[in-house]
Amino acid sequence: MTADDKRHVDYRRNVNCNYEDADNGEEICASAFIGQYLYELWKNQCLCDVRIRVGKSSYLAHKIVLAAFSEVFCPNEPQKMPSLCFDVPHSTPDAVYQILLYLYTSEMELTDGILEEVLNAANFMGIWEVICLIKEILSKPTFDNFA
């Protein structure tokens, strides 16, 4: 490349960095970018390789996100895993959706009416972080969630 070349390349910015906060001029943490990028992929149902069925509903997700939160999806030894499809018993579509929302965004919209179903699904899927959160909520009973 000579001094006359007009080629300008900015290696400080990921070419895939196209989410809403990317142009605010602040440095973006790589893990925040990856999380946002995976959330956008999930929201658009792009590159999902797992189908989770609960009742007559089903959701698509990414094995890598499930594996990040649960040993159930993370084998001890490297292996080529086929795409997965599994049923979640004793739960509801909304409960499973809330778990997926938490895995992708670290947020859930919980009501007392779905705590048990979320706990059932989280137990089945081995997602300890959600299990602990629900158990913490249940350890502080309210009029609605006290049986």
First to last CA, the chain: 74
Residue 18: predicted pLDDT: 45
Residue 143 lies in a domain: no
Least confident of 34-48, 76-90, 111-125: 76-90
In a domain, 18, yes or no: no
Structural domain includes residue 84: yes
Domain at 107, CATH number: 3.30.710.10
Q: Does residue 14 lie in a domain region?
A: no
When pLDDT is averaged across residues 75-81 and rounded to a whole number, the result is: 67
> pLDDT tens for residues 99-119?
999 998 889 999 999 999 999
Helix (H, G, I), strand (E, B) or coil at 52: strand
Q: In the chain, how many domains are there?
A: 1
Q: Which domain holds residue 66?
A: 28-138
Is 130 part of any domain? yes
Q: What confidence score (pLDDT) does residue 71 get?
A: 86
Domain contains 3: no
36 and 17 in contact (C-beta within 8 Å)?
A: no
- 122 — pLDDT class (breaks 50, 70, 90): very high
Neighbours of 20 (CB within 10 A): 8
Q: What is the pLDDT of residue 30?
A: 57
